[in-house]
Structure 1
C-alpha cells in the first residue's frame, strides 16, 4: 500500500474513534436530559461521521478502508466508555444497608456527604438504611468509606435523572458553572 492509502486509513480510524466517542457522550447527555449538550455533540458526531463514511463509500474497491472503519468503530466504543467513566456526568443515589448505620452516617457526613438514615428489618435482624445523593465521581468514595467501617454492608447505586432542589450538592462556579448549563 502506498502512503496515501495508509494516511486515509489513519484518517478513517481517527474519525471513527472521534464520532463514536462523541456518540457515547451524546447518549449520556440525552439520558440525563442535557438537551443543548446533546445537540452540540450530535452535530459534531454526524459531521465527523459523514467525512469518514464518504471515504469508505467512495472507495468500496479498497477493503483496507472498510477494515479501518470497523477498527475505528471498535476503538471508539472503548474510548467513549472510558471517557464517560472518567467524566462521570450526573448524580447518583446510594442506598447503604448496614448494621453500623450511626458510625457510617457520621463518617460520611464528616466527609461532606448528605446522609438520610432509616431503621429497617433485614433477614438477620435490624439494619440501618442510608440514603446518600452524590456526584457520580464521588460514589466510589462513599462505598469505600462505608466498606472501611462495615465490610459486610450492602449497597445499591442508582443514577438520578431528576431530583428536587431541597438538598443541593456542591455547585460549581465560574467556567464550570457555564459548562454545566450546556
Structure 2
C-alpha cells in the first residue's frame, strides 16, 4: 500500500468535506444578507478548494484522488446541511389553516408564541389563518402544538429574512405579527 496515495486521498476528502460544508453555510449567509459571514466563509472555502483541486490536478495519473474529491464533495453537502439544520439560525413564519382558530391561538399564546388570527373561507367553509413568527428551533414545537389540537390543520412554513419587534403605543408588549 502506498501511504502517500492514502494520505493524499484523505487530505483531498477532508478538504472537500470542509470546503463544501463552509460553502453551504456561506450560501445561507448570502440569502440572509449577512455580508461579513458570507465574505469570511467564502474566503476560507475557496482557499481550501484551491488546495484540494491543485492536489488533484498535480496527480491526474491517480484516479483515487478524483474519487476522493467527488466523495468529499458529496459528503460535504450532507454535512453542510446537517450543520445548518443544527445551528437553526434565523426566523420562520408558520401559517396554520384551521377550523379551531381561537382555541388554537390561545394555546399557542399560552406557550409564549406571537399569534395573529385572520378569518378566511376555505373550500368547505369558514377557516382561520393563524400567522405565527418563531425561531427555527421553535417551529417544530409550533407545528406539533397545532397538530395536537387540530390533526386536520394545514400549515405552511417559510423562512424570514428580517423581523422587527415594534411596540404598540402605550404598551410594553410587542405587537403580534
TM-score when normalising by structure 2: 0.91
Q: Does 1:34 align with 2:68?
A: no
- Consecutive unaligned residues in structure 1, runs of 5 or more: 169-182
Could you tell me how far apart the structure 1 residues matched to 2:148 and 2:3 are? 56
Could you tell me how far apart the structure 2 residues matched to 1:165 and 1:141 are? 21
Task: Measure how far apart 1:8 and its partner are.
Answer: 1.0
* Aligned-partner SS, 1:126: strand
Could you tell me how far apart the structure 2 residues matched to 1:80 and 1:108 are? 32
Task: Measure how far apart 1:165 and its partner are.
Answer: 3.5
Aligned position for 1:141? 141
Aligned position for 1:172? none
Alignment of 1:53-132 (within 5 A): 53-132=53-132
Aligned position for 1:159? 159
Task: Measure how far apart 1:138 and its partner are.
Answer: 1.2
The number of residues matched between the two structures is 168
TM-score when normalising by structure 1: 0.88
RMSD: 1.2
Could you tell me how far apart the structure 1 residues matched to 2:154 and 2:132 are? 14
* Aligned-partner SS, 2:61: coil
* Aligned-partner SS, 1:165: coil
Could you tell me how far apart the structure 2 residues matched to 1:34 and 1:138 are? 22
Could you tell me how far apart the structure 1 residues matched to 2:59 and 2:7 are? 14
Could you tell me how far apart the structure 1 residues matched to 2:102 and 2:153 are? 13
Q: 1:114-137, CA deviations, whole angstroms, 9 ceiling, x for partnerless residues?
A: 000111111111111100011112
